[in-house]
């Protein structure tokens, strides 16, 4: 399964760029454990925006 990059996810929102300030647009990784005990690195997309108007 393909996931959107942070920039692609932001573009999909089609926000008015003059009305929103980008606080943080990027990714982070964390370790997660599944129900069977399997461990994997999970990549999260993080969009932090602030409405300016």
pLDDT tens track, the chain, 53 positions = 688 999 999 999 999 999 999 999 999 999 999 999 999 999 999 999 999 97
**DSSP assignment letter at 19:** T
- φ, ψ of residue 52 to 5 degrees: the values are -95, -25
What SS3 class is residue 42? strand
Residue 45 lies in a domain: yes
Any idea of the CA torsion for 31, 34, 38, 44, to the nearest 10 degrees? -30
Is the pTM above the cut of 0.85?
Answer: no
Residue 12 lies in a domain: yes
Integer Cα distance of 48 and 6 in angstroms: 11
Residue 1 lies in a domain: no
- Burial state string for 31-41 with b = 16 or more CB within 10 A and e = fewer than 16: eeeeeeeeeee
Residue 47: domain span: 6-51
Residue 24 lies in a domain: yes
- The confidence score (pLDDT) of residue 53 equals 75
Number of structural domains the chain divides into? 1
- The confidence score (pLDDT) of residue 31 equals 98
Residue 36 lies in a domain: yes
């Amino acid at each position: 399964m393909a996931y959107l990059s942070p920039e692609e996810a932001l573009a999909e929102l089609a926000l008015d760029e003059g009305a929103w300030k980008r606080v943080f647009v990027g990714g982070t990784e964390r370790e997660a454990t599944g129900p069977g005990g399997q461990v994997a690195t999970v990549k999260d997309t993080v969009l932090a925006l602030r409405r300016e108007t």
